[in-house]
Amino acid sequence: MFWEMLFAMEEPEKQKFIKFCWGQERIPANDQSFDDQNVRFMIKQATSKSNVAQDQMLPKADTCFFNLELPSYSNLEHMKKKIMQAITLDNVSMNAEEN
């Protein structure tokens, strides 16, 4: 479901997603640049210490390592809604320092 959703995104949404997950405006231009910069994108299963349902959780990102912690959403629409919410909440600064 994740890749289906990502490939269907418009370019501005993809750029917001990259910034959310990596804190950068763009990904490296080609495979060699990925290798040279030792960059890789990793999706991790979200964990919750509370009894919050996976569908209620927002995805989290570890921008230092280009990791996405993705809950097990029940369907594509729910996943898209939560990812879009997460990437648009604060996509200007890494620590919400800017207005």
Predicted TM-score (pTM) of this structure = 0.81
For 60, the token pair is: 């989290």
pLDDT surpassing 80 at residue 17:
yes
Instruction: Report residue 84: phi and psi, to 5°.
Output: -60, -40
CA 84 to centroid of chain Cα atoms: 9
φ/ψ region of 87 (left if φ > 0, alpha if ψ in -120 to 50, else beta) reads: alpha
Instruction: Report residue 61: phi and psi, to 5°.
Output: -130, 145
For 15, the token pair is: 């750029």
Tens-digit pLDDT profile for residues 32-59 = 888 888 888 899 999 877 778 899 999 9
pLDDT surpassing 60 at residue 98:
no
Question: How confident is residue 92, by pLDDT bands cut at 50, 70 and 90?
Answer: low
Tell me the HSE value of 97 on the side-chain side, using a 13 A CA sphere.
3
**Three-state SS for 60?**
strand
Q: How far is the C-alpha of 86 from the C-alpha of 90, rounded, in Å?
A: 8
What pLDDT is stored for residue 27 in this prediction? Answer: 84
What pLDDT is stored for residue 24 in this prediction? Answer: 87
Delineate the domains of the chain, giving CATH numbers in brackets: 2-26+39-46+55-89 (3.30.2410.10)
pLDDT surpassing 70 at residue 94:
no
Residue % of the chain over a pLDDT of 90 = 57
